[in-house]
Amino acid sequence: MIEIKDLHVSVEGKKILKGLNLTINAGEVHAIMGPNGAGKSTLSNVIAGRDGYEITGGSITYKGDDLLEMSPEERAWAGVFLAFQYPVEIPGVNNTYLLKAGVNAKRKHQGLEELDAFDFMKTVKEKAALVELDPSFLSRSVNEGFSGGEKKRNEIFQMAVLEPSLALLDETDSGLDIDALRIVAGGVNKLRSPDRAIVMITHYQRLLDYIEPDFVHVLADGVIQKTGDKSLALELEEHGYDWVKENK
Amino acid sequence: MSVLAQTQQDALNLFEKIGLPTQRDEDWKYTDASRLKDLLESKVSGASVDIHNLGITELDAYRMVFINGVFTANESNLPQGISIESLATFETSNDNNEKELAKLFQVSSSDPLMNGFAAYNAATAKDGAAVCLKDNSKLDKPLYILHVSNQSHVIRHGLMLGKHAEAEVIEHFISLGEDKALSNATTAIILKDGARLEHSRIQQEGKSQSHVARVEVKQLANSSYTFHGVELGGILSRTDLVVDLHEQGASCSLNGLFVLGGRQHVDHHTRIDHTAPHCTSREHYRTVLDGRSHGVFNGKVMVHEGAIKTDSNMSNGNILLSKNAEIDTKPELEIYNDDVKCAHGATIGQLDDKQLFYLRSRGISAEAAQELLTFAFADEVLVAMSNQTVRSYVEKAAFAKLPHSDDLEGLLSE
């Protein structure tokens, strides 16, 4: 689904990613772990198309196309979704309207009819139930006045409605208490499917107890240092990141 | 000479003394009124105007229609048993409240923001709405005052709400044709003890037309006044909004929205006088400026000696969509008293990059995201409108002025 080759990225002249390689196939769940400043968020932001990152080398091929040539909205239409680490509040923009506009823009791009308002609301309510999001949140402004946990839940709810092919979850577990984590993880598990890839970016092994990854990668110093299965996460938890660098 | 005729003569004398403002006057520094000089005089002609389908047609309201400043009874629909009538006939009445209404036509050089246009209005107005609500009465439907014009005209409304009376009044200005013209409109309001008024003014003059307005409000004890000023049309529009919180416990909430493009110029000067203790004022103005448009906001709050426990908050937010658009904003606060709570502030900016990226990452195009955020910014002021039919009309009209409006058609049906 996505193939990242020798990716070099700088932010304000500082090299963050230094030749990163990563291939992700449909149906797989990957976890990218690593210390602060390793470039985890940079990677997810670059995939989603955020401004402010200078690509100094390498390529990202997504479903056969050059992802780096696409605008953020084109990436969304092609099925890329980023669940933000810090979802922004947007006063005055209704949560449901945002999704309806997003879903219909994607459908329009695919040459499909816009969704009927009734069908759309039905879908939205079903998906809200998936992450136990109170229906009152649907008519509120995007993230405005939401608690940290509610914001994260809202991200996974949006993912459920937008049905991406590639979902990047950027520290979705941070700021969640154990009950909220269980609910959010439950929602993500229900969204696992053979034609969808999920990438979790996290500091902690905790999330992986709830969402079991097929692959675990350790990102440090701008490259993937080590790849393994979920046992790698447990080893990391025990030995720390320095152990990875010493045992490449 | 009748009381009204004498009052108008006094106003004419004042007009002749002070003349029209120039940019040398501090209050008119940013607005060049000289180009309105030749448009001042009312043009009276028999030209008929087709008003079919104009205005907020879906609004369930009492209607007063003024065509080129003249009351048009056959287009209007007034309640029984409540004194709402054309100013042209109001003199003959004897009711006590109506005598007080005559006071609404007095002007004085010492009135805050008094200027030649306002004096000329008082001196020459021949028609307008004369609304008197008796104590404890409530207007069961909004009063919708529709102004349609294709020529210069002068109009003056007087609203007097008796003790604990309640009403909603919507003034709407639409002009037709391409001729240069000036609407000179004043609304003078008295709210007695405990009276409540929600007052909207929607300015949608044509591309060649200008608009000069004055709204003055005197509030007695515990009365409440809510204003929504919406500026969408016209080439030059100036409004002076003067509120006197005259007795204890009065409160006002002034909301303003400008959505401008092209070479439009809109200037609101507001003045709130906290004359009495325990009064509350809220002011919230937002502007969205595109093209070479120019917005001016000057909000002044005066807290007079003795007005203890004053609670005042003013904010003004502005978004410039084009590098050629201009905003001059000046929130002012003068306090002659301790024991008050006052805040004011203004912001000028572009749209937030993080919000734009968030929307785009959800599949909304860059243009649509920009428009959505702009609309949301403007709509925050309209949230305060209690009449959803009026709000929806204004939203659609404001939205239509923003670029790329086709991409977000579904927005307003939510």
Helix (H, G, I), strand (E, B) or coil at B413: helix
CA dihedral B353, B355, B359, B360 (to 10 degrees): 10
**How confident is residue B51, by pLDDT bands cut at 50, 70 and 90?**
confident
**How confident is residue B408, by pLDDT bands cut at 50, 70 and 90?**
low
pLDDT tens across B64-81, in order? 999 999 998 888 888 876
Asked if A73 and B365 come within 8 Å (Cβ–Cβ), the reply is yes
Asked if A90 and B358 come within 8 Å (Cβ–Cβ), the reply is yes
Residue B15, pLDDT score: 97
Residue B115, pLDDT score: 97
Average pLDDT of the segment spanning B142-166: 95
Size of interface A-B (CB pairs under 8 A): 83
Residue B91, pLDDT score: 55
* Domain definitions of chain B by residue range: 3-350
Residue A103, pLDDT score: 92
* Domains contained in chain A, CATH given: 2-246 (3.40.50.300)
**DSSP letter assigned to residue B249:** T
**How confident is residue B1, by pLDDT bands cut at 50, 70 and 90?**
low
Q: Tokens 């969704």: give the residue.
A: A115
| Cα–Cα distance, A247 to A159 (Å, whole number) | 37
Backbone torsions φ then ψ of A241, nearest 5 degrees: -75, -25
CA angle B211, B217, B221 (to 5 degrees): 165
From the number of C-beta atoms within 10 Å of its C-beta (0-12, 13-18, 19+), residue B96 rates as exposed
- A97, B410 Cβ separation under 8 angstroms: yes
Residue A169, pLDDT score: 95
Asked if A103 and B363 come within 8 Å (Cβ–Cβ), the reply is yes
Asked if B380 and A91 come within 8 Å (Cβ–Cβ), the reply is yes
With beta carbons under 8 A apart, name residues in chain A contacting B366: 71, 73
Asked if A77 and B359 come within 8 Å (Cβ–Cβ), the reply is no
Question: Between residues A80 and B106, which one has the greater pLDDT?
Answer: A80
Asked if A77 and B363 come within 8 Å (Cβ–Cβ), the reply is yes
The alpha carbons of chain A give a radius of gyration, in whole angstroms, of 18
Task: State which residue of chain B sits closest to A141, comparing Cα positions.
Answer: B376
Asked if B362 and A87 come within 8 Å (Cβ–Cβ), the reply is no
Q: What percent of chain B has pLDDT over 90?
A: 74
- B245, B275 Cβ separation under 8 angstroms: yes
| Token representation of residue B37 | 């000089």
| Cα–Cα distance, B198 to B56 (Å, whole number) | 17
| Token representation of residue A193 | 């499917």
Q: What string of pLDDT tens digits covers the 248 residues of chain A?
A: 999 999 999 999 999 999 999 999 999 999 999 888 889 999 999 999 999 999 999 999 999 999 999 999 999 999 999 999 999 999 888 898 899 989 998 998 889 998 888 889 999 999 999 888 888 888 899 999 998 889 999 999 999 999 999 999 999 988 888 888 999 999 999 999 999 999 999 988 888 989 999 999 999 999 999 999 988 888 888 887 777 777 66
Give the CB-side neighbour count of residue B191, counting CA atoms within 13 A: 33
| Token representation of residue B319 | 């978004």
State whether ipTM is beyond 0.90: yes
| DSSP string over A200-214 | EEES-THHHHHS--S
Q: Under 8 Å CB-to-CB from B189, ≥6 apart: which residues?
A: B104, B158, B159, B160, B161, B197, B199, B215, B216, B217, B218, B225
CA angle A171, A177, A181 (to 5 degrees): 60
Q: Which of A51, A106, A141 sits opposite B363 (nearest CB)?
A: A106
| Token representation of residue A194 | 């053979």
| Mean pLDDT of all residues belonging to chain B | 91
- B274, B302 Cβ separation under 8 angstroms: yes
Give yes or no for residue B186 having a pLDDT over 70. Answer: yes
- Closest by CA to B284, choosing from B255, B313, B327, is B255
Average pLDDT of the segment spanning B295-299: 97
With beta carbons under 8 A apart, name residues in chain B contacting A84: 358, 361
Shortest alpha-carbon distance between residue B364 and chain A (Å) = 5
Q: Considering only CB atoms, which residues of chain B are within 8 Å of chain A?
A: 352-355, 357-366, 368-369, 372-373, 375-377, 379-380, 408, 410-411, 414
Average pLDDT of the segment spanning B84-92: 65
Mutation site for B-interface testing, chosen from A45, A90, A157 by largest number of B Cβ within 10 Å: A90
Asked if A97 and B414 come within 8 Å (Cβ–Cβ), the reply is yes
- A37, A223 Cβ separation under 8 angstroms: no
The alpha carbons of chain B give a radius of gyration, in whole angstroms, of 21
| Cα–Cα distance, B410 to B414 (Å, whole number) | 7
Give yes or no for residue B137 having a pLDDT over 80. Answer: yes
Average pLDDT of the segment spanning B203-209: 96
Residue B414, pLDDT score: 46
Q: Which of A51, A76, A92 sits opposite B362 (nearest CB)?
A: A76
- Closest by CA to B329, choosing from B356, B352, B296, B306, is B296
**How confident is residue B413, by pLDDT bands cut at 50, 70 and 90?**
very low
With beta carbons under 8 A apart, name residues in chain A contacting B408: 101
Q: Tokens 């006044």: give the residue.
A: B225
